[in-house]
Amino acid sequence: MTQATLASDHQTQHHHYTENGEHIVSKDAQFSDIGQWLKKGWQDLLQAPGASAFYGLMMAAAVMLVYGAYQAQPVMIFKTATFFIMLSPFLATGLYALSQQMHTGQTPHLMQSMLAWRHNTTNFALFALSLGVIIAIWGRIVPMIAAIAQSDQLLIVNPEAGVMGFLSSQAGMDFLGYFIVMGALVGAFVFAISVVTIPLMLKDAKVGVISAMVLSFKVTMENKAVMAAWALTIGALITLGLLSVGILMVVVMPLLAYASWHAFNDLVSIENPTQ
């Protein structure tokens, strides 16, 4: 159940109640909040440079491995790149935990952040499974896009030219156009159901994965314009990280994860949360 009220500072608050009767309040956001989230994220990155670099380097290495493995298969590079984007909320769990530690005045602890999911294992596993199902469906859609873009032409793209050779071909451009449209639709859905899901489950173990995803979707719908801008900001920065062959992911990954934690805290508050 959801109710809306007007707070004393004229900011609309939305009252949500989970199936176990827990009361969660969400608030409306403004476009200026995006800059504040990124600023706070940068401050967290500077406060925990070592742990941040660990997660950033892991992501950078994964991106480089993908480029190396599929250098002669541009379609697979695009396909796998979207996998990273869709999985990023789950992959950032440890970084959310680091930001949570700093937010509560604790010293950032890398090992604890890597095991942050243990207090709510079942729900984290179910969320990962949910993303896995969506990714599996997307993996089936990409070959269909290639077929629509005349896959027989894609096969004769010069593999030695790599991605740029692919994009300079008519078949490659056709594929990219369809790919962006379909990828944006799937990515928007993943963003809507995940933008506050993992931070919420980290902060309150009583919230189940279904309730968290439903609330995430509701919060997104309550702030359509701001959340669309935030999603585009995330997508743009991750794209820069991918285009740099993963090098910029060393900074982009922790920055966005920390900023997302602060976005969650600005958007959602929980009555009597439990760890």
Output DSSP code: residue 48: S
If pLDDT is split at 50, 70 and 90, which confidence band does 13 have? confident
**What's the gap between Cα 192 and its chain centre?**
10
**19-74 pLDDT tens trace:** 777 888 899 999 999 999 999 999 999 999 999 999 999 999 988 888 887 777 77
Q: Which residue has the higher pLDDT, 240 or 80?
A: 240
CA distance 227 to 223: 6
Q: Supply φ then ψ for residue 244, to 5 degrees.
A: -85, 15
**127-146 pLDDT tens trace:** 989 988 998 898 888 888 87
Give the CA angle between residues 27, 22, 221 to the nearest 5°.
Answer: 35
What DSSP string runs through 69-124? HTTT-HHHHHHHHHHHHHHHHHHTHHHHHHHHHHHTTPPP-HHHHHTGGGGGHHHH
**218-249 pLDDT tens trace:** 999 999 999 999 999 998 998 898 888 889 99
For the chain, domain boundaries: 31-267
Specify the pLDDT at position 206: 84
Q: Which residue has the higher pLDDT, 6 or 29?
A: 29
Q: What is the dihedral of CA 145, 147, 150, 152, to 10 degrees?
A: 130
The strand pairing partners of 187, in sequence order, are none
Percent of the chain with pLDDT over 70: 87
CA distance 88 to 186: 14
Could you tell me where the beta strands, DSSP code E, fall in the chain? 2-6, 12-17, 23-27, 268-270
pTM of the model: 0.84
**Residue 109: how many other CB atoms lie within 10 Å:** 15
Average pLDDT over the chain reads: 84
Tell me what the mean pLDDT of segment 247-253 comes to.
Answer: 94
**Tokens found for residue 171:** 């078949």
Q: What is the dihedral of CA 85, 126, 58, 56, to 10 degrees?
A: 60
The strand pairing partners of 24, in sequence order, are 16, 270
Specify the pLDDT at position 97: 93
Q: Is the pLDDT of residue 266 over 90?
A: yes
